[in-house]
Amino acid sequence: MSGALQDWKSQKKPFAAVATAPVFWLGLFFIAPMTIVWLYSFGQNAGPADINISGTLDNYKRATEWLYLSIFLKSFAVAALTTLICLIIGFPVAMAITFAAPKWRPWLLLGIMLPFWTNLLIRTYALMALMGTNGYMNKGLGGLWEGASWLRTLVGMQPLEAWTPVQLLYNNFAVVLGLVYVHLPFMVLPLYSALDRLDKSLIEASLDLGAGHFKTFMKIVVPLAAPGIFAGVMITLVPALGAYLTPDLMGGTDSQMIANVIERQFKRANDWPFGAALSFLLIYAMFILIALQSMRANKVKEAR
Amino acid sequence: MTEGKQPIIEIRNVSKRFGKVTAVDNISLDIRAGEFFVLLGPSGCGKTTLLRMIAGFEMPTEGQIIIDGQDMSLVPPNKRPVNMVFQSYAVFPHMNVTDNVGYGLRISGISKAETRDRVAEALELVKLGGFEDRMPDQMSGGQRQRVALARSLVMRPKVLLLDEPLSALDAKLRAQMQFELADLQDKVGITFVTVTHDQDEALSMASRVAVINKGEVAQLAPPSDLYEYPANRFVADFVGSVNIFEGTLTLDEPDKAAVDCPGLGKIYLNHGVTGPHGANVWIALRPEKIYLHVPGEGKAVRAAAQDAPDGHNLARGTIKGMSYLGDVTLYDIQLEGGHIIRVSRPNLSRHDQEDFTWDDKVSMHWRADSPVVLLS
């Protein structure tokens, strides 16, 4: 590229004209408030609406107590499981879109993106309606159960006892299912963009050289889609780690995640300093994840 | 039939339709073991589809393909005794040269020691010794193509398929690779089947060429036959450059024939053409087979055209266009009847191109065995 902004050092004025507004915006509405919250995390309540920033580390000490640490770890486990399931479901979906006829592709992508344009709250309640004890999921399972029971009577066995609806909601299962449902598009889109760039003749070349479809998948498709896989994992894992609404609405008493604890500190407990400390621990964890990812990406670049 | 002439690939009434489009239309042909076979045709003629059906990436809608005596209808690409060099080369970007070339051997469970030896041998064959650890993005297009060649040859296939192997190379490299490919084929003795739209490539490398037009074989012949004895107007026009004039067959005997072309004059041939008398035919005349003279050098003209009766195989015109190409000069000459004829004249001395210029009146003649009579 050889535009006027190719080198900002030699083109200071136009660069300043373009950069000032976003830098100002970022400073005023992101850096400044985040700094304030960060400072709160080193303070203590000095009244219902007063925080005394004393430089204490008490909040961090409390945040790393087992009670909170265990919730951190559990949040990680739930987010990791969510990401893994998204990957397992998302990869075949992304492959299917890549190999679909060109005229179908935009529609399939639209199908993936459509949920984005619907409010998360509505989507979550809709999913809850589906999973309730009187919801379609239970009715469907009941139907299958009765079918199995009828088959047993056909071969002369005792029928199964009557179907009792299963508790699908308000447990860890519901949280993971809800998170997978919400985050699947985040996984599919980067995977699709990686697979779409993959030269299809590489797959044909592998088949031509005697590899079966599974070996071709493992040795050609997966390694070449690796950047998409890592991007998908990060873009799913980070928001899943900070998920708040899904565990709040679909989880049970034991399925709260770290964001729910943080929310309680800021609202019901009115302990902003402690909430700030918890928040920043979460942010640090995410920083580490992102740093690891970019280190890996750099390594791959160097290897080339 | 000798051992070497046994067909390695038999294509039997193969058709391929994509929806309403017929890409390949009832093609039957045999490819003999050890030959360098070229499928030549304009883009979209179905030649690549035919190649992909031999490789197994497309299934024929009708007909069957037999490779080495075995029907391939139900055999997937990874089980066929053929290997393909892709137009884009399809070198695996995440593997170095050694791993790329050894890929097929590792997959088929060949021992490490044998894989190493065969990879080294294949790299030597394509002159890539010393490049073992290179990654594909550190190599030029020509080098990547050699990797793709080695990767296929190392499998010792019965047939090597090449899809437009030279189209992505620059002109100099292309000319060099033409010779190298022919040389390589000679060395390894594997049957090569190549797809190309470039007639020079086809003529220089092939032992036999199938010219494909609109999904059908227009002519199947060795390169020189294709050029000197084209079977129809499509082949005459597609292979090389040609002047085509419509005419009527007025004389047809076993040892001579004559055609009256309103645009060109009376054409005399010193051989028969076996066409119905009075039939509508076409005369194809290659530009380099026409001699150019200054008018008035009548003696020389008559002497040169002495194998034709008086008034035959002669034409007059005015030079309307010239294009100096170094080794030859091309002249577009407007005949007295208004038609344009192209003549190519070798620059045998360093000043030959100065002999004629725009608007010069010239006369032309050609030998009685030069024109080709086409019935379709």
Where do we find the tokens 């995640």? Answer: A257
B201-to-A258, B36, B68, B154 alpha-carbon distances in Å: 68, 12, 27, 24
Contact A143, A128 (CB under 8 A): no
Q: Are the Cβ atoms of A209 and B107 closer than 8 angstroms? A: yes
pLDDT in tens, B15-36: 999 989 999 999 999 999 999 9
Where do we find the tokens 């979209």? Answer: B44
Q: Which of A202, A207, A209, A215 should be substituted to probe chain B, the one whose Cβ sees the most B Cβ atoms within 10 Å?
A: A209
Q: What is the DSSP string of chain A?
A: ---TTS-TTT-HHHHHHHHHHHHHHHIIIIIHHHHHHHHHTTEEE-STT-EEE----HHHHHHTSHHHHHHHHHHHHHHHHHHHHHHHHHHHHHHHHHHS-TTTHHHHHHHHHGGGGS-HHHHHHHHHHHHSTTSHHHHHHHHHHHHHHHHHHHTTPPPPPPP-----SSSHHHHHHHHHHHHHHHHHHHHHHHHHHS-HHHHHHHHHTT--HHHHIIIIIHHHHHHHHHHHHHHHHHHHHT--HHHHHH--TT---HHHHHHHHHTTS--HHHHHHHHHHHHHHHHHHHHHHHHHHHHHHHH-
DSSP state of B355: S
Q: What is the CATH number of the domain that holds B336?
A: 2.40.50.140
Examine the pLDDT at A249 and tell me if it is beyond 80: yes
B240-to-B30, B210, B333 alpha-carbon distances in Å: 25, 15, 19
Candidates A199, A207, A223; nearest CB to B78? A207
pLDDT in tens, B69-120: 999 989 999 999 999 999 999 999 999 999 999 999 999 999 999 999 999 9
pLDDT in tens, B210-255: 999 999 999 999 999 999 999 999 999 999 899 999 988 888 888 8
DSSP state of B312: S
Q: What is the CATH number of the domain that holds B131?
A: 3.40.50.300
Pair B227, B265 in one domain? no
For the whole prediction, is pTM greater than 0.95?
no
How many residues would you count in chain A?
304
Where do we find the tokens 């074989």? Answer: B217
Q: What residues of B are in contact with residue A211 (Cβ under 8 Å)?
A: 78, 103-104, 107
Can you give the pLDDT at residue B2? 40
A61-to-A56, A277, A278, B10, B242 alpha-carbon distances in Å: 10, 9, 10, 80, 91
Chain B: residue whose CA lies nearest to A300? B94
Q: Which of B96, B107, B151 should be substituted to probe chain A, the one whose Cβ sees the most A Cβ atoms within 10 Å?
A: B107
A residues 201-230 closer than 8 Å to B (CB)? 201-202, 204-212, 215, 219-220, 223-224
Sorting pLDDT into bands at 50, 70 and 90, what band is A1?
very low
Domain closes at, from B221, B237, B253: B237
Mean pLDDT of chain B: 89
Pairing state between β B314-324 and B372-374 = unpaired
Kindly report the nearest CA distance between residue B79 and chain A, in angstroms: 6
Contact A91, A188 (CB under 8 A): no
DSSP state of B121: H
Kindly report the nearest CA distance between residue B341 and chain A, in angstroms: 45
Domain count, chain B: 2
Chain B: residue whose CA lies nearest to A226? B94
- List, in sequence order, every residue forming a beta bridge with B259; answer none if it has no partner: B249, B267
Tokens, residue A188 = 């599919």
Q: Which domains, and CATH codes, for chain A?
A: 66-132+168-303 (1.10.3720.10)
pLDDT in tens, A105-120: 999 999 988 888 888 8
Examine the pLDDT at A103 and tell me if it is beyond 50: yes
DSSP state of B138: G
Pair B16, B79 in one domain? yes
Can you give the pLDDT at residue A50? 84
pLDDT in tens, B175-219: 888 888 888 998 888 999 999 998 888 998 899 999 999 999 999
- List, in sequence order, every residue forming a beta bridge with A126; answer none if it has no partner: none
Pair B165, B41 in one domain? yes
Pair B51, B83 in one domain? yes
Chain A: residue whose CA lies nearest to B56? A208
Domain closes at, from B215, B237, B259: B237
pLDDT in tens, A120-137: 899 999 999 999 888 888
pLDDT in tens, B139-166: 998 999 999 999 999 999 999 999 998 8
Sorting pLDDT into bands at 50, 70 and 90, what band is B306?
low
State percent of chain B over pLDDT 70.
Answer: 94
Can you give the pLDDT at residue A279? 93
Pair B44, B135 in one domain? yes
Examine the pLDDT at B3 and tell me if it is beyond 70: no
Chain A: residue whose CA lies nearest to B90? A202
What number is the average pLDDT over the span A85-90?
96
Kindly report the nearest CA distance between residue A224 and chain B, in angstroms: 7
A residues 244-273 closer than 8 Å to B (CB)? none
Pair B362, B267 in one domain? yes
Classify B40 as helix, strand or coil: strand
Pair B125, B51 in one domain? yes
> By residue range, what is the domain housing residue B131?
3-237
Domain closes at, from B204, B219, B237: B237
Pair B192, B276 in one domain? no
Examine the pLDDT at B1 and tell me if it is beyond 50: no
Can you give the pLDDT at residue A5? 52
Pick the closest to residue B146 from B157, B136, B159 (CA basis): B136
Pair B71, B180 in one domain? yes
The span from the CA of B155 to the CA of B110, in Å, is 11
Pair B31, B145 in one domain? yes
Classify B311 as helix, strand or coil: coil
pLDDT in tens, B287-299: 999 988 887 765 6
Pair B338, B222 in one domain? no
N-to-C CA span, chain A: 23
The span from the CA of B316 to the CA of B361, in Å, is 7
Pair B107, B229 in one domain? yes
